[in-house]
Structure 1
Amino acid sequence: MSVKNSAKRKPALSGMAGDVTPRQRIWDAIRHQHAEDGLITMQGIRIALKRQDDLPESLVSGYLRALIAGGFLVRSNPEALPATTAIYFLKRDVGVEAPRVRRDGSLPPPPGREQLWRTLKIIGAFTGQELADAASTPKVPVAKATADEYIKMLARAGYLQTMVESSPGVPGRYRLMPSYWTGPMAPQIRRTKELYDPNTGEVVYSRVTKTEGGEP
């Protein structure tokens, strides 16, 4: 493939649905504009968001400022008058997941479940303790109980293959099914005991909490 044709290729957008964060929706809108013509404006973000007009402009502009501070966006006319439409360019496209950048442009450490999700892709077969140990960092340690809960939900949703069944004195051993690596964002355990995959926008597992006779 020539460099010319490669340059015309548009980056994949997330196409996520469901419980995505406001920042994720804004990031999708930014990447959509970047893919269309490279010019990013507040009006263009609103058009890309379509009917998702429940996001206040202060939230959108605040996230834009954080992205600029973090080096993800640059403004082409920083000295323009307030009435002039601000034009931005996407300097660092880091993929479908919205950067979790702070106001000052710094990045917080990833939550424990995201560390677990990334780790289980590369660790091979693992127990809950092994996964927790491998996913832990000095700033964000991951408890075995957190790993065990996540493993249980992923296994129920079909993401994991059980290599060794757990039994008294013998921890279960698992590995990720290769075809179930759906993307960089960690599947989320909801309060309703559902597992939601933000990479696909689908609820991939839902525990039935009631039967005719009550809870199972």
Structure 2
Amino acid sequence: MSGRPITTMLSLKKKGLRGHEAIWEHILNNKSDAFTIRDIDQHTNGKTDSVRDYLKRLVKAGYVVELDEKVGKAKLYRLIKRQKKAPRLSRDGVESTQGTARSNLWRTIKMIGAFTARDLAISASTKSFPITENYAADYVHFLSKAGYLKKLKGSKAGGNKGRSAKQAVYRLIPSKNTGPKAPMIQRIKSVYDPNLERVVWMKGMEVRK
């Protein structure tokens, strides 16, 4: 037996949390004023080295401080900066922007109703993370291939260099709102849904619509 509390592990699994997200979830919910690596490790599905590595990143980024006192030989830590989402940090403690554009697109798709790629790019862009129409169109293309989007109106050819004079209009299929994490377009041009933890489309795969 690993000694990890079963109820906590099941709760994390039910929420679909793993890795840094699971570690952060327990740090947020920790009822003690301070905690050790062991306190976090025994409540998550991660490895001790992974917990130690993420804590180092959190300390460098200013989310957690390392205290002077110890419990035996174990270092004590305290959370000083809270936020709902697990910070995405490099080993140097620098905030990572990887996946932010994709997350903004997915969140907007779930909120916007009917949209074109141009509508989506404009609505999902922020001052810090502008999104190009081509990037949005590529994401829409693969979500459509994976059966996540319904095409309401087709595009009409025309315009400069064959670009559509009137873009296709899409809407998210309600049953395909699989969760908060944005489906990912992988390098092999397949679609992976982290909410379902599986590849939902690849070339040659038949998708039910």
In the superposition, the TM-score normalised over structure 2's length comes to 0.69
Residue 148 (structure 2) pairs with residue 164 (structure 1): no
- C-alpha deviations, 1:8-60, integer Å up to 9, x for none? xx9765435xxxxxxx603313435766876753124444335x467484x23
Distance 1:207-1:140 versus aligned 2 partners, 3 A rule: same
Q: 1:186, 1:202 → 2: CA distance?
A: 13
CA contact (8 A) 1:127 1:173 kept: yes
Kindly indicate whether structure 1 or structure 2 has the higher relative contact order, using CA contacts under 8 Å at least 6 residues apart: 1
Give me the identity figure in percent.
Answer: 32
CA distance in 2, matches of 1:202, 1:109: 20
1:43 maps to 2:31: no
2:191·2:200 contact (CA, 8 Å) conserved in 1? yes
| Secondary structure in 1 matching 2:68 | coil
Moved over 3 A (4+): 10-14, 32-40, 44-47, 52-57, 81-84, 86-93, 101-110
The answer to whether the Cα contact below 8 Å between 1:109 and 1:139 also exists between their aligned partners in 2 is no
Gap runs ≥5 in structure 1: 1-9, 17-23, 210-216
Aligned residue among 98, 113, 119 for 1:130: 119
- CA shift for structure 1 position 158: 1.6
Whether the 8 Å CA contact 2:58–2:93 is kept in 1: the answer is no
Equivalent position SS for 2:156: coil
Contact 2:37–2:51 (Cα < 8 Å) also in 1: no
Name the CA distance, whole Å, in 2 between partners of 1:151 and 1:82.
52
Q: TM-score, normalized by length of structure 1?
A: 0.67
Q: How does 1:10-29 map to 2 (within 5 A)?
A: 14-15=15-16, 25-29=19-23
Q: Which of 192, 199, 209 is the equivalent residue of 1:203?
A: 199
Counterpart position of 2:106 = 117
Quote the Cα distance in structure 2 between the aligned partners of 1:127 and 1:150.
12
Distance 1:133 1:207, change over 3 A: same
Instruction: Structure 2 unaligned segments of length 5 or more: list them.
Output: 1-9, 158-164
State how 1:1-16 maps to structure 2 within 5 Å: 14-15=15-16
How many residues align? The count is 184
Cα distance in 1 between the residues matched to 2:177 and 2:78:
31
Determine whether 1:147 maps to 2:145.
Answer: no
Match of 2:69 in 1: 80
User: 1:15 & 1:89 partners in 2: Cα distance?
Assistant: 25
Q: CA distance change for structure 1 residues 66 and 196 in 2, over 3 Å: closer, same or farther?
A: farther
Per-residue CA shift, 1:163-211, capped at 9, x if unaligned?
Answer: 11223133110011222222222111100111111122121111239xx
Name the CA distance, whole Å, in 1 between partners of 2:175 and 2:76.
40
SS of 2:152's partner is strand
